[in-house]
Amino acid sequence: MQIVKRNRRRAAMGHSQAQKEANHDRILAAAMDLLRDKGLDHMGVAQVMRAAGLTHGGFYSHFPNREAMVAEALRTAFERDERRLAKAAAKHGRSERMGMIEAYLSPAHRDDPAHGCTAAALAGDATRADPALRRIFTEQVVRYRDRIADLIPAERDAAESHALFGIAAMIGALLVARAVDDEALSDDILEAARHHLTKSM
């Protein structure tokens, strides 16, 4: 009988831990969507927990404060962005570099900021963020630079320069394409950026 009780307690503990991990993932997913959609300055704990379908009081069993949640959400969002972009690029019949440009500067990406590029969504907010978040943003830009430079057949310094130009141009084009209220003009912005980046990179 004692063995049965112990096994039940262990099973309950295992279920409880699994549920806590699942809730943690739900909070992160909600935080990532809100970060991209609303920005750093307009995302509170209550909003995140409501979007995750959880009670506000449960937040502190996962994070000590809002800043810790935002930092983890930002790192996780960047990791997922890299995987998603690589997957989208691989679907194209052309080189990975060209596929990346086409996937990034697409109407579908423009029209879905909540599930799009975190760097583009937060570029403006990051300039006013605390040093810890700016450091995360900076480290991601360096990773993007290195990843793209690896795809460019040139001397390393030249490849990194092309990569940095490409990052700035892609993010800038996406932001402007989202900002204008003329869909035809927005499409033209994306097309122009795709055309010139394809030639220059």
The C-alpha atoms of residue 55 and residue 49 are separated, in whole angstroms, by: 6
The C-alpha atoms of residue 133 and residue 70 are separated, in whole angstroms, by: 8
CA within 13 Å, CB half, 77: 31
The first and second tokens of residue 134, run together, are: 């700016």
The per-residue pLDDT for range 94-103, each reduced to its tens digit, is 678 888 899 8
The per-residue pLDDT for range 64-112, each reduced to its tens digit, is 999 999 999 999 999 999 888 778 767 765 678 888 899 899 999 999 9
> Which of 54, 47, 22 is closest to 33 using CA atoms?
47
Mention every residue, 6+ apart, whose C-beta is less than 8 A from residue 76. 28, 32
User: The whole model's pTM is what?
Assistant: 0.81
Q: In order of start, what are the domains of the chain with their CATH numbers?
A: 2-200 (1.10.357.10)
The C-alpha atoms of residue 31 and residue 24 are separated, in whole angstroms, by: 11
